Amino acid sequence: MKVWLDGQLVDKADAKLSMFDHGTLYGDGVFEGIRVYGGKIFECQAHMDRLFASASKIRLTIPYTQEQIVAAMAQTLVANGMADGYIRLVVTRGVGTLGLNPNRCPRGSVFVIAGQIELYPREMYERGMPVIIAKTRRTSPAMLDPSVKSLNYLNNIMAKIEATDAGVGEAIMLNDRGEVSEATGDNIFIVKDGAVLTPPVSAGILQGITRRVVMELCAAAAIPCREQTMTPADLFAADECFLTGTAAEVIPVTKIDHRDIAAGTVGPISQRLITAFHEFIRL
């Protein structure tokens, strides 16, 4: 495998950051996970815009233009002979001194990994996935702007550990008000009385790019779709439930905290949107 690291393609074994990089020391940086379908970078401009917006919000200067980063991703795909897969694009604060002061890091570092990812077994996409509601709460927007896709994922990781301990693939996180926010790496939707509902930005969510695409697919298919504050009770009373994310794509949820959602099978609207998403990514 070849990795693009600060302007050069290097072998995986030689792709290394300094131990003094503040991305390593403090999780100081931002990233994007990006799908590639048929050699095309999926929603490339949206990912670039979000990356640069995240960096701006933490006052991190990316030492390359958007065009240069897109070219780096394309170069990495070619070097690895990859037409379908997953890109992890990371920007760190760069090498600095011990201590939190980011001004002691003169230049950020950028790297691109192009590989494969499979978060969940394929059968879960057909039969649905069981999840839990985590005890770990989502980091409050008053603490960190949820629109920043930062390298510090410890909050999400602790909820993921809960899911692993429970023997399920994912955990739903609540915000500090007890409202449904999102999963550890995915956005959540429910279906109720024919309408598709998803938590609003005020619930502390990351505005997922796949989330937006699914909402647009709902509009194209004349399926009512809106943002709505929801509680765990709304999840348990839902007719259907599914998660969306770059790596996860669209995956149905059929059980929450050992309780079946409706009949415990993949619902018709979820299946319709899964099919529509697969058709969309191949356009």
Three-state DSSP class for 43?
coil
- Token pair of 14, please? 């030689």
- Dihedral angle of Cα 2, 4, 10, 12, to the nearest 10 degrees: -50
Cβ contacts of 39 within 8 Å, gap of 6 or more: 77, 83
What does the alpha-carbon distance between residue 154 and residue 149 come to, in Å, rounded to a whole number? 13
Catalytic residue list contains 255: no
Write the DSSP symbol of residue 178.
S
Phi then psi dihedrals of residue 71, to 5 deg: -65, -40
Three-state DSSP class for 196?
strand
Crossing angle of helices 66-79/44-57, nearest 10°?
A: 120
Q: In the block, which residue shows the tokens 């005890």?
A: 135
The string of DSSP codes covering 114-154 is EE----S-HHHHHH-EEEEE-SSPPPPTTTS-TT--BS--H
Three-state DSSP class for 280?
helix
- Check 149, 160, 192, 255 and give the catalytic one: 149
Total residue count of the chain as it appears in this document? 283
Three-state DSSP class for 58?
coil
Side-chain-side CA neighbours of residue 129 (13 Å): 29
User: Using CB atoms within 10 A of its CB, is residue 192 exposed (0-12), middle (13-18) or buried (19+)?
Assistant: middle
Q: Which residues are designated catalytic?
A: 149
